[in-house]
Amino acid sequence: MSHDPAPTRAGAAEPGSSGTGPSVEFGPLSSAVVRLGRAHRALASQLMREVGLRPEQGALMMHLWAVGPVRQSALAQHFGKDSAATTRTVQRLEHSGYLRRRSDPSDGRATLVEPTPAGNALRGRVEEVWGRLEAVLEAAVPAAERGPALTMLQRTADAVLAELDAEATRSLTEV
C-alpha cells in the first residue's frame, strides 16, 4: 500500500512525487515553471483578496500608477492579453469605481484608462501586498543569485514568447 502526499495548497507535491522537487512528467524545466506559476498565482490571489482585487487588477492598477493614463489597447499589449480580456478587467475595475475611461484628446477614436480618486486611495495597500509577494521571492533567492536568476527567467520568458509567435505564424501559413 503506497501513500501519495496529498496536495494541500497550490504548487504542493503532485501525487506520487516526493514533494522535494518538480515532477518530471512534463520535463523538469516545464514542471518547475508550472509549479512556480501556480504557487505564485495562488499566493498573489490570496494576498490581493485582502484589498478586494484579483492579481491582474492589482497589476493593472500598479501599471497605471507608474505610467499615468494609457490607451486601453496599450494595456492589452503591455500585459500580453487580448482586447476582450483587457476590457473585462477594465470594466470590473470601472464598475468598482477604481478606474475611469475617457476619450483620448489626441485621437477621439481611442480610449484612455486612468485611476479614479478611489483607485488612487488603494495604491498604498496594493503596493504593500505586492511588496509582501516580492519579499517571499527574495527570501527564496539569495541576493547574490538574484541578478542571474532574473536574467535567466527573462531569457526563458522571451524564448517561450518567441516560440509562441512563431507557432502562430506557422499556423497562419498552414491555412
pLDDT digits (tens, 9 = 90+) for 17-31: 545 555 557 799 999
Domain shared by 109 and 47, yes or no: no
> What pLDDT does 175 receive?
61
Domain that holds residue 85: 54-126
In this prediction, residue 156 has a pLDDT band, given cuts at 50, 70 and 90, of: very high
Q: Is residue 44 part of a domain?
A: yes
Domain shared by 58 and 48, yes or no: no
| pLDDT at position 15 over 70 | no
Domain shared by 121 and 101, yes or no: yes
As a whole number of angstroms, the distance between CA 86 and CA 72 comes to 8
Q: Is residue 13 part of a domain?
A: no
SS3 track for 35-75 = HHHHHHHHHHHHHHHCCCCCHHHHHHHHHHHHHCCEEHHHH
As a whole number of angstroms, the distance between CA 135 and CA 127 comes to 12
| pLDDT at position 5 over 80 | no
Give Cα separations from 156 to 59, 63, 78, 81, 150 (angstroms): 21, 23, 18, 19, 10
Domain shared by 60 and 121, yes or no: yes
Residue owning grid cell 527573462: 154
User: Residue 175 carries which DSSP code?
Assistant: -
pLDDT digits (tens, 9 = 90+) for 140-153: 999 999 999 999 99
